[in-house]
């Protein structure tokens, strides 16, 4: 039982350290602005025709 608890602790710590290193190199969480504008645009470049962002971008480009 002690071995299982020790393995769980070591695994959690290792995963957390790896997450922090990766987060510094490549931000994993999206910013508030990306959430506001929509994750489709910020992550995949997808714009829905009826979305407020598409309407705004279309109005700006005219």
Assess whether pLDDT exceeds 60 at residue 50: no
6-40 pLDDT per residue, tens: 999 999 999 999 999 998 888 777 777 666 666 66
Q: Is residue 44's pLDDT more than 70?
A: no
* Token representation of residue 42: 């910020």
pLDDT at 1 over 70: yes
CB contact at 8 A, 10 and 18 = no
Q: Which residue did the predictor score with more confidence, 14 or 60? A: 14
Is residue 52 scored above 80 in pLDDT?
no
Q: Mean pLDDT over residues 41-53, rounded?
A: 60
SS3 17: helix
């Amino acid at each position: 039982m002690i071995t299982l608890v020790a393995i769980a602790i070591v695994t959690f710590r290792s995963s957390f350290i790896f997450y922090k290193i990766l987060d510094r190199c490549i931000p994993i969480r999206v910013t508030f602005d990306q959430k506001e504008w929509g994750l489709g645009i910020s992550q995949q470049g997808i714009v829905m025709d009826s979305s407020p962002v598409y309407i705004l971008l279309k109005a700006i480009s005219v």
